[in-house]
Amino acid sequence: MSKADLPKPIVVLHRVQLGENIGMSARAMGNCGLENLRLSSPRRGWDRDKARAAAAGAAQVVDDLEVYASLPSALADCSVVLATSARRRNVSLRVIDSEMAAQEIHTASGRVALLFGAESTGLDNDSISLADAVIEIPLNPDCTSLNLSQAVLLVAYAWWRRLGQCCVERKKKTHVSATRQETAYLLARLEGLLAGKGFFTDENLRPVLWRNVRAMIHRSGFSTQEVQTWHGIFSALLRR
């Protein structure tokens, strides 16, 4: 399964003020393969042209974004909401970091929203109370301030990294490991070819040398297809 086939969280910017910040957030999303952007109660008259310019290669995210009059309406079809906050609020919610958030996104059974607040004030208590958990990013305590697009990038990148791991895990599930018999046949053929080419110059050292080669092949964990590929390589090298 490719990255494009896996479900993606949506990004909700609540009460965002500037088109430039919308565009730079869209760019951060594009960097990490996210496409669904929603604005909740944005400032009236925000400049779409400035947003498109700031989005660079992710202008399509700006073109396709949806605007909602209220935060509840922007989150209405979401099963999980993860809010970001630079500081603790008087709301009793689980606090997780971006890596934990990425894990929760990938295991969620419904649509997930990543919620970000206004540039200057962030999210208020009422907004955070709509979330299932709060994402906090541990930074230098003497300098914790992030601009909106930086916050979007950090959370989105954690998801993107975890996404790569999920793809690898899914790929491993389809990996058909070679049987010991298949590997033994490959090794026997390789040993015969090497012996024929004078690779073993000292017969006393041959058992130790071959044991190391055998361990190297077994350690590689070849699939059935990879074993067949190596047979093809051997055959090609033997052709005259």
The residues, ordered by sequence, that sit 6+ positions from 196 with a Cβ below 8 Å of its Cβ are none
Structural domain total, the chain = 2
Cβ–Cβ under 8 Å, residues 98 and 135:
yes
Which of 126, 151, 173 delimits the end of a domain? 173
Q: How far apart are CA 62 and CA 49, in angstroms?
A: 9
> Do 169 and 186 belong to one domain?
no
Last residue of a domain, one of 173, 194, 213: 173
| pLDDT, tens digit (0-9, with 9 covering 90-100), for 178-197 | 776 788 889 899 999 999 88
| pTM for this prediction | 0.68
Is the Cβ–Cβ distance between 91 and 128 less than 8 Å?
yes
Residue range of the domain that includes 115? 3-173
Q: What is the pLDDT of residues 80-123, one digit of tens each?
A: 889 887 665 556 778 888 888 888 888 887 788 999 988 788 88
Q: Indicate whether 109 and 70 sit together in one domain.
A: yes
Same domain for 141 and 71: yes
Looking at the structure, tell me whether residues 11 and 109 fall in a common domain: yes
Whether residues 122 and 69 fall in one domain: yes
Q: For residues 32 and 69, state if they share a domain.
A: yes
Helix, strand, coil fractions of the chain, as percent rounded to 5: 50, 15, 35
CB neighbour list of residue 44: distance below 8 Å, 6 or more residues apart: none
Q: Indicate if 59 and 136 belong to the same structural domain.
A: yes
